[in-house]
Each structure stands twice: as structure tokens, then as C-alpha cells.
Structure 1
Amino acid sequence: MRVLVQGAGVAGLTAAFELATRGAAVTVAEARHALGGNASWFAGGMLAPWCERESAEQPVLDLGRDAADWWDAATPGQVTRAGTMVVAAPRDNGELERFASRTSGHRRVDEDEIALLEPDLAGRFRRGLLFPDEAHLDPRQAMAALHDRLADKGVEFHFGADASAVSGFDRQIDCTGMAAGDDRLRGVRGEMLILNTPDVSLSRPVRLLHPRFPLYVVPRTDHRFMVGATMIESQSTGPVTARSMMELLSAACALHPAFGEAEIVETGVGVRPAFSDNLPRVEARGNTVTINGLYRHGFLLAPAMARQAAELVFNQDKSMELANETDRQRQSA
């Protein structure tokens, strides 16, 4: 089967992997001239289904709990399995209790254990939650690794290409996000920073709870940290606003004051497509299957959506083969 995947974000790359693994001849067409620059490029990369359940529906946990295993198998060496730490200042202990009541898969940690797990946070927080089964990855490195793995499987990539410029496919999978033109989608703007400081070391993502502006900090390589993220109901792709910059930096400094002296290496904005219920959908229309609405859970939910899309593509093909065989039998009779 020949399948065209439109879009080389996280949805498109994971769909291409599932299809190629099942034996399809896959071509990926991406409007951008290189990998990256889309919403996936500015993601946190947290594979944290139990934490996300605090503000998401149960399907996010159900669909995302195997994501770390999927990424580990598809991109060996890219996943760090160190869990997630959630902390709050003593004055915001109510936020920690609320978070604990809405989630599962965690255990409580005291000041001594926080210091043991994250020495640079020693003495800064008295209580926290550890989600030991969660993981994280660097989205850019993971996407590059998945691209290379796909190329090794014979997947063809066409960058800077409109999907209409390539033809001759049995099926298509549309993974173009907001560009799909689905009027049911809304854009949710997420702003992020990448900071560099040799004065802070973290082993895992840390979420700092605050009643007005919760924050997460995800460690990258070379003393870099991804700090995010806002959730603004907007499709604007303009630069990070001054207000968001100040709030992100203020929250980062509340986690550790050394972030006040960090270099701001990069700022970024990603507009994430979302349906009204904030849950993703895999849908079939004729010979086209769409994956969309990943919202803020791209790397967490893309593997499950890719599996659903591949099953739909192949099951649809089997249904058509059965119908054609039935027609041939009727004609011969």
C-alpha cells in the first residue's frame, strides 16, 4: 500500500513510523523546507500522563501511559525515565493538595527526599509529589532521530512541497494541524523560553504550582532548560509577549534564583490545534485519514493516535478488498 503523510510534525512522523512498520510504502510531504519550526518544535517533551490528568480528561491518561515505551522503541536513547517532580511554595500548599487529589501514580516526598532527588532544590521546598513512572525527551532530538529511522526504513521525504504536487497514493493521512482548515479547531498559543545556566542542575522535569501561573522546567543537554508554558486562546504566531516573558522568568526564579542570571538562548511560540473537548481525533473521509487536535499533548498522545490511524488505513483497505472480492464473486455467479 502506498500512503502519503501530509505534515512532518510529531503526528506525521509517528503516523509514518506506524505505517512503515506495518509494511506500507510511505512518503511524507512537508510544506516547510526542513524539519522543525512547527508547534512540535516548541514542545516540552514531557511524557507525563499522570500529571496531565490534573487538567485533562481520563482518555489522556489511558492513551498516553504507553508513550514512553513507544518512543523508547522508535528512538532508542532519546527517552529519560526519571519521573516528574511537582513542588509548591509553602504558601501554595493548597495547590499541591489540589493537584494530588486530581491525579494518581504519585507518592509524597518531604524536604529531605526533594534534596536527595534534586540537590539544587535543597531547602527550597518542604513538600512535593513524585510521579516515578513518567519520562521526558528533547522533542527536537527525538524528531530528528525518528526522521533518520524512517529514512532507514525507506520512507521518502519531500520538504518544501505541497501535498498536491505528489500523487499516485492509495491513502493519505492529513497531519497538518491548524493548516488543515478544520473549522472545528481552535488555536491555543503556547510560549516558551530556553535558558542556559551552569548554576542549576535538574534530573527530571519540575513543575512549580502557583494559583495564577503554574510553570514547568524541563532539563535539556548542556545546562539548558526549557521553561514553559502559557496557554492563550489565540492563533497568533507573533513573538513572545513582554507579559509572558516576565511571568515565565519570574516563575523560573521562584523555582531557583540562579535562573535570574541565566542566558535567554531562545524564545518560541507554538500554536496547538484543539477541539472543543481538548481531546484528539482520528477520522476517515474517503481515502483520507486525519489526525488532529493533539492540543498540549503532542508527544504524549501522538503514538496512540498513529496506531489508530494505521489500523484505520489497513482495516479500510481490507474492507475494500473484501467488498471487491464479493463483487467479483457475484459477477462470476
Structure 2
Amino acid sequence: MKVLIRGAGVAGLTLAHELATRGATVTVVEKREEIAGNASWQAGGMLAPWCERESAEEVVLTLGLGAADWWDAALPGHVSRNGTLVLAPARDVGELDRFGRRTSGFKQLDTSGIAALEPALGGRFGRGLYFAQEAHLDPRKALLALRDKLLDMGARLEFGGCAASAPADVEVDCTGMADRRAELRGVRGEMLILRTDEISLARPVRLLHPRIPAYVVPRGENLFMVGATMIECDAAGPITARSTMELLGAAYALHPAFGEAELVETGVGVRPAFADNLTRVERDGQHLSINGLYRHGFLLSPAMAQQAADMILTKSRSKGVCS
């Protein structure tokens, strides 16, 4: 089976890996000149199905439970299984109760419990929720490692164009917002990368706020990703001043050391979403698509890749929807 995949974001590369592992001949075509620059490149990389359940349907939890294992098997050493810590400033502590009511899989922590997990945050927060079974990865390192592994497996990756050099039996569209179908909408996410050696975190920390919840994800080498806004807009462009201030304010509220951090990078990614915010795998003859990953790209792409690979190699289904 020869499969052509359009798009080298997380959806396209995870599908390519799934198919190559099962023996298919895979070609990935990407219009950009390199892996960097798409919405996947700007992602947080959190494999957090229980935290996402707070604002998502049950199916996101169900399909996301295997994500950390998939990534660990595909890219050994890239997944950090240190869980997720959810906190709130004293004035917003009621947000912790609301968050907890809408999900599961967590342990309640007091001040000493928070300090035991993250010494740098000791004494700063009175309560927290700890999701011990969650994980995270560096999405940029993961995408580059997937690219290199696919090349080693014999897959073709063609950048800077839209036409493949080899014929295919099946074609799959994984181009996200470039697939301009009417029912897709863009959800803009803005993020910062900060550098400071004055604080160390072992896991992603979500800071709750009734209007602007944010998260801080450690990236190693004293780098921290701070994200991300959720703006109903399909315009890319640079980050806004307002979003920059809000994200910096959230980082500072987590720990004042971030006030002296170096602002290394700002970024914007436009994530494709359907009206129900659920991902879809669809087939029409010899053409398939994976789209609508919304804010769950690294969490749901393994399950979507497995669904699509089943459709391609067994031809047993015409449609699979994350619902």
C-alpha cells in the first residue's frame, strides 16, 4: 500500500509513523520548507487527558489515555511522566473546586504537598490538584525526532511543494487550516517562551483564572513555555500586546522569578476545529482526512492515526469521528 500524506504537522507525522510501522510505503508532502512554523510547532506538548476533560467531552479522555504510551513507544526518552499540577491564586481558589468537579484522576494537595512536588512553589499556594498519571513532551523535539525516524524507516518527506513525486493508492489530507472547508474554524493560540535559571519545575503547572487560565511547561535548559490564549480567530500574525501582558502576568503570578526572565520567543498557532471541538477521521473513496484536532493535537493524534491506518489498511470503515 502506497500512501501520500499532505501536511507534516503532528497529525501527518503520527499517521506516517503508524502506517510505516505497519508496512505501508509512505510519502509526506509539506508546503513549508521545514517542519517548523505550523500550529504543532507552537503547541504545549501536554499529554493531559484528565485535565482536558474539564472542558472537553468524555471521548477526549478515553482516546487520550493511550497517548503517552504511544509517544513513549515511538520516541523512547521523549516523554516525561511527572504528572500535572493545577493551582489557583488565593482569590480564585474556587476555580479549583469547579475544575475538580468536571474531571477526575487527581489528588488534593495542601501547601506541604505542593512544596514536596515543586519546591520552588513552596508556600505560594494553599491548595492544588495533582494529576499523577499525566505526562508531557517537547513538541518541537518530538516532531523533529519523528521526521528523522521516518526517514530511517524509508519514508519520503518532500518539503516546499504541493505535488508528490510518486503515485499513491491512498491520499490523506492532514493540512489543518489549509483545508479550507466551510465547517472548519480557526482557534488562535498565542504563547511565550521564557528563560530563567531562578526557578525549576518538573512538570506542567496550570494556573486557573476565571477569564484567562494559563499553563507553564518546562522545556529543559532553563526554558519554559507559557500558553496559551484561546481566541476565535483564523488570523495568524504576531502575538498581541494584550496577550503578551496576560501571559506574562500569569507566569509572574505563578512565581515572581518569571518577572526577571528573558523573553526568548513569542508565537502564534491557528488550530483547526469543528463546531463540536472534536477531531474527525473521514474517508471518501481513496481520499481521507484527519482534521479538527483543536487544542488536542499531541494528545489525540495517536488515536486518530490508528483509526486512519485501520481504514486505509483494512478498508473496513468509511468514517471515524472522535465522538
TM tier, shorter chain?
over 0.9
In 1, Cα distance between the equivalents of 2:297 and 2:269? 12
Per the alignment, residue 134 of structure 1 pairs with 134
Richer in helix (by share): 1
Per the alignment, residue 293 of structure 1 pairs with 292
The AA in structure 2 aligned to 1:23 is: G
1:54 to partner: Cα distance: 0.4
User: What is the correspondence of 1:63-74 to structure 2 with a 5 Å cutoff?
Assistant: 63-74=63-74
Per the alignment, residue 42 of structure 2 pairs with 42
Matched, 1:22 2:22: yes
User: What is the correspondence of 1:297-312 to structure 2 with a 5 Å cutoff?
Assistant: 297-312=296-311
> SS at 1:187's partner residue?
strand
1:167 to partner: Cα distance: 4.3
Question: Under a length normalisation based on structure 2, what TM-score does the superposition of the two structures give?
Answer: 0.97
**Alpha-carbon contact 2:310-2:316 (below 8 Å) kept:** no
The AA in structure 2 aligned to 1:296 is: R
Q: How many residues align?
A: 318
> SS at 2:220's partner residue?
coil
Instruction: Show CA shifts across 1:112-155 (max 9, x none).
Output: 01011100001100100000000000000011111111111100
Identity of aligned residues (%): 66
Instruction: Show CA shifts across 1:238-289 (max 9, x none).
Output: 1000000010001110000110110000000000000000000000012111
The AA in structure 2 aligned to 1:139 is: P
> SS at 1:72's partner residue?
helix
Matched, 1:61 2:61: yes
The AA in structure 2 aligned to 1:132 is: A
The AA in structure 1 aligned to 2:196 is: T
Per the alignment, residue 12 of structure 1 pairs with 12
Per the alignment, residue 194 of structure 2 pairs with 195
**Alpha-carbon contact 2:311-2:317 (below 8 Å) kept:** no
Instruction: Show CA shifts across 1:212-239 (max 9, x none).
Output: 1111000001100000000000011110
**Alpha-carbon contact 2:29-2:164 (below 8 Å) kept:** no
In 2, Cα distance between the equivalents of 1:134 and 1:185? 29
Instruction: Show CA shifts across 1:186-222 (max 9, x none).
Output: 0000000000000010000000111111110000011
Larger radius of gyration: 1
CA RMSD of aligned residues (A): 1.2
In 1, Cα distance between the equivalents of 2:164 and 2:301? 26
In 2, Cα distance between the equivalents of 1:317 and 1:109? 47
The AA in structure 2 aligned to 1:123 is: G
Question: Under a length normalisation based on structure 1, what TM-score does the superposition of the two structures give?
Answer: 0.94
> SS at 1:103's partner residue?
coil
> SS at 1:169's partner residue?
coil
Structure 1 residue runs of 5 or longer lacking an equivalent are: 320-333
Matched, 1:116 2:124: no
In 1, Cα distance between the equivalents of 2:228 and 2:304? 24
